[in-house]
């Protein structure tokens, strides 16, 4: 019985090691310039108009007085730009 537990433990830790190695290899290259640039896009930001949180990569950019803001939709962006222009 002890031998079975040892073999299962070896298989489990081997699997975890391979999984981590594969995830690290995919994240390092990933087809994106800068390696971990995609990681920053997963950051949640708050819409300055309606207050909703959304992933930065899905945001709609808008500029007010030279500063760039990210919005959850074009509707929120247009409403914010109308108020602040």
As a residue count, the chain comes to 85
Exposed/middle/buried for residue 49 (C-beta within 10 Å: 0-12, 13-18, 19+): buried
Task: Tell me the average pLDDT across 5-10.
Answer: 93
Tens digit of pLDDT for each residue in 26-50? 665 544 444 455 555 579 999 999 9
Q: How far apart are CA 85 and CA 76, in angstroms?
A: 14
Max CA separation in the chain (angstroms): 74
pTM: 0.51
Q: How far apart are CA 44 and CA 51, in angstroms?
A: 12
Residue 41: its pLDDT value, please? 56
């Amino acid at each position: 019985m002890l031998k079975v537990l040892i073999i299962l433990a070896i298989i489990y830790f081997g699997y975890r090691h391979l999984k981590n190695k594969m995830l690290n290899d995919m994240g390092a290259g990933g087809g994106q310039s800068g390696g971990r640039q995609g990681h920053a896009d997963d950051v949640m930001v708050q819409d300055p108009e309606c207050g909703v949180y959304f992933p930065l990569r899905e945001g709609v950019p808008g500029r007010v007085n030279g500063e760039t803001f990210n919005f959850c939709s074009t509707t929120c962006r247009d409403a914010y730009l109308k108020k602040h222009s």
